[in-house]
Amino acid sequence: MSDRPTPTGERPVLAGLLALTAVAVVVGLLAGVTMLMGTKILGISGADGSGSGEASSGETLFLPEPEKTERPDGPLITLDVDPTQAPSGDEADEKAAEKKKKKAAARDKITLNAGQTSVSAMQRIDLTGTYPAGSGAILQVQRFEGGSWADFPVTVSVSNGVFGTYVMTGQSGETRFRMLDTDSGKASNFVTVTIS
């Protein structure tokens, strides 16, 4: 008998590599066939649609053929939807006069605001406001006492239609303040400050 080993016994590493290669080829073929069958079943196509010009079933965009259009003859912008409802000359004049009166009244109006709505006794209360038509006017601060308005010892001048000052009082409770134009006698709205 011979002591010679069998051919597979001589090269075990080569035999293992051949077996691994055979398994990899079989697994690759199975995976490829599975993928091919899956794409057929699911309807997935590898075509991008640029080659054949055929429409695929998944298209969502439809572009119609361009058509030539005619230019409009009339104006491109409509300024008045219902020209029959335009105010007549008298109505327009009345509306313009009313608008002018409102503007003049707003210009003549003294508007007062308080910076604080609640303060302690002798704490600063900021009074600011507007008087568009009153540039240069002197405004007197007034406080409501005993049922009438009394002058508070503070005045302020109006500059460029605005004014600002402050007052301090020890009188507790709800106190109302307003501004009075010393020349014209016009009064502002009043503001209420709670003093504790």
Q: What is the second-level CATH architecture of the domain 108-195?
A: Sandwich (2.60)
Helices (H), 6-48: 7-10, 12-42
Q: Which residues of 45-82 are buried (b: 16+ CB within 10 A; e: fewer)?
A: eeeeeeeeeeeeeeeeeeeeeeeeeeeeeeeeeeeeee
Within the chain, how many helices (H) and strands (E) appear?
3, 8
Distances 101 to 44, 97, 112 between C-alpha atoms, Å: 76, 6, 21
Q: Which residues pair with 5 in a beta bridge?
A: none
Contacts of 49 by beta carbon, 8 Å cutoff, 6+ apart:
55, 56, 59
Query: Quick one: pLDDT at residue 107?
Result: 74
Query: Quick one: pLDDT at residue 67?
Result: 85
pLDDT per residue as tens, the chain (196 positions): 555 555 555 788 888 899 999 999 999 999 999 998 888 888 776 555 444 445 555 667 777 888 888 877 766 666 665 555 555 567 777 888 888 877 777 778 999 999 999 999 999 999 999 998 888 999 999 999 999 999 999 999 999 989 999 999 998 999 999 999 999 899 999 999 999 9
Query: Quick one: pLDDT at residue 83?
Result: 53
Query: Quick one: pLDDT at residue 51?
Result: 47
